[in-house]
Amino acid sequence: MAGLKTKNLRVAFLSWKPVLMIRLNKYIFIILAFCISSSATSSELPAGFSKLKDIAPDIKEDIRYYGSHNFTGHTVPGYKSPECWLRTEVAQALKKAQIDAQVLGLNLVVFDCYRPQRAVLSFINWAATNNEATKKEFYPNVEKKKLFEQGYIAEKSMHSTGLAVDIGIKGLNFGTPFDFFGKESWTENTRTTKVAENRKLLSHLLSQHNFTNYPREWWHFTYKVAIDAPVYDIEIE
């Protein structure tokens, strides 16, 4: 009798096996599809963001943290593509500033836009090391450990909200290169009349469209909004 029950159970299992395999394969497919979808969306633009090139393609993009020519000496985490991402209203405002610049026969160039939070954390980690290979070019007169204290690097950056942009005007002399940490880069601290004029011109073009300058960096501008914008850590791809 026990043998008969076992045989019946075996027959029943075999008859259900194809159905179970179909259902199992279905669930595996759903799980895989979910994983692929999650991976794909991880590099999509945050809600309310746009690529600058889709709104203002005439603005040159020279994204320094994508390459090694920056104060860290290497590609910064989070920059897998040399693209400028910004909140859409910021990109639209830059388009207006670019139109104003073009009336003068000039063109804007961006050095950094949205910055993933992991990049900010990498700056903190870099500052804690003894590596000073880039000191001569980027911070010759400032102690590395004081870069945060003196306001040249921030532990929390508006760049991570998509509201800040590092920008210049192509071909003009601004007195120092982008990301030069020192008093020479302070917007109002200029040695020649021409540099002063160029910095004032840049500030004028941006301020006309709701941007404010950070006084210790002639290149850094933040778009003024009333909302408390969230910080993002999505890689730029």
Q: How far apart are CA 37 and CA 150, in angstroms?
A: 43
Flag whether 232 is in a domain: no
The separation between CA 86 and the C-alpha centre of its own chain, rounded to angstroms, equals 8
pLDDT digits (tens, 9 = 90+) for 139-158: 999 999 899 999 999 889 99
Whether residue 19 has pLDDT greater than 70: no
Q: Is residue 228 part of a domain?
A: no
Q: Which domain holds residue 26?
A: 1-41
The residue written with tokens 């960096």 in the block is 217
Residues 98 and 27 in one domain: no
Tell me whether residue 155 is one of the annotated catalytic residues: no
Beta bridge partners of 61: 110
- Across the range 104-132, mean pLDDT stands at 96
Choose between 142 and 20: higher pLDDT. 142
What does DSSP assign to residue 1? -
In this model, does residue 15 exceed pLDDT 50? no
For residue 49, the surrounding DSSP H or E stretch is: strand 49-51
Do 201 and 93 share a structural domain? yes
The answer on 145 and 28 residing in a single domain is: no
**Domain co-membership, 16 together with 66:** no
Number of helices and strands (H, E) in the chain? Answer: 6, 7
Question: Shortest CA distance to 114 belongs to which of 174, 38, 61, 71?
Answer: 61
Q: Of 83, 143, 217, 237, which is the active-site residue?
A: 217
Average pLDDT, the chain: 86
pLDDT of residue 163: 98
**70 plus 186 within the same structural domain:** yes
Region 91-106: mean pLDDT is 98
pLDDT (mean) for 13-23: 40
| The total number of structural domains that make up the chain | 2
Note whether residue 213 is domain-resident.
yes
Distances 131 to 72, 126, 135, 143, 178 between C-alpha atoms, Å: 9, 8, 9, 12, 20
Asked if 127 and 145 touch (Cβ cutoff 8 Å), the reply is yes
Residues 130, 195 within the same domain:
yes
List, for residues 54-68, the tens digit of each pLDDT value: 999 999 999 999 999
Residue 230 lies in a domain: no
Residue 103 has pLDDT above 90, yes or no: yes
Whether the per-residue pLDDT at 4 is higher than 90: the answer is: no
Whole-angstrom distance, CA of residue 20 vs CA of residue 57: 54
Q: Are residues 15 and 103 in the same domain?
A: no
Instruction: Give the mean model confidence (pLDDT) for residues 28-39.
Output: 32
CATH, residue 110: 3.30.1380.10
In a domain, 236, yes or no: no
Question: Does the structure show a pLDDT above 50 at 39?
Answer: no
φ/ψ of residue 151, rounded to 5: 85, 20
73 in the same domain as 161: yes
Residues 37 and 74 in one domain: no
In this structure, are residues 82 and 114 in contact, taking their beta carbons and an 8 Å threshold?
Answer: no
Cβ atoms of 236 and 115 closer than 8 Å: no
What 8-state DSSP symbol labels residue 64?
Answer: G
The reply to whether 114 and 78 lie within a common domain is yes
Q: Would you place residue 43 in the very low, low, confident or very high pLDDT band (cuts 50, 70, 90)?
A: low
**Token pair for residue 22?**
């179909």
The neighbour count for residue 32, using CB atoms within 10 Å, is 10
* 173 phi/psi in degrees, rounded to 5: -90, 120
Considering the domain architecture, whether residues 194 and 132 belong to the same structural domain is answered as: yes
Domain check: are 17 and 58 in the same one?
no
Residue 29 has pLDDT above 90, yes or no: no
